[in-house]
Amino acid sequence: MLVIKVKTMENNLILFNSVTIAMRAREVLKKYNIYSTVVRTPISLNKKSCGYSLFINQDFKRALQVLSGNGIAYTGTAAVGAK
């Protein structure tokens, strides 16, 4: 699992191998009132061509717990600036 840490920002991006998994994860989180946006993984973080991520503005640690508890696998987390 890839974890990239940036001192000035908190983790807010969950990385997935495919858009299908990212969309499934978004729907699972929505059931727990955690809202997210599917985005392309930034090229600097993407080692493969099909990288999609969820941008999370709130409850990041809880989102990871919910995904793990529901069997949704992610490839890593990262911190990026909000657009």
CATH number at residue 41: 3.30.70
**Residue 83 domain-assigned (yes or no):** no
pLDDT: which is higher, 29 or 7: 29
Specify the DSSP element, H or E, that contains 13: strand 13-16
Query: Roughly how many angstroms between the first and final C-alpha of the chain, as a whole number?
Result: 25
User: Mean pLDDT over residues 23-38, rounded?
Assistant: 96
pLDDT tens digits, 56-82: 988 999 999 999 999 999 999 988 775
Q: Which of 18, 32, 3 is nearest to 73 (CA)?
A: 18
Count the domains in the chain.
1
**Residue 9 domain-assigned (yes or no):** yes
pLDDT: which is higher, 69 or 42: 69
Q: What angle separates helix 19-31 from helix 60-69, to the nearest 10 degrees? A: 110
| pLDDT-based confidence at residue 6 (cuts at 50, 70, 90) | very low
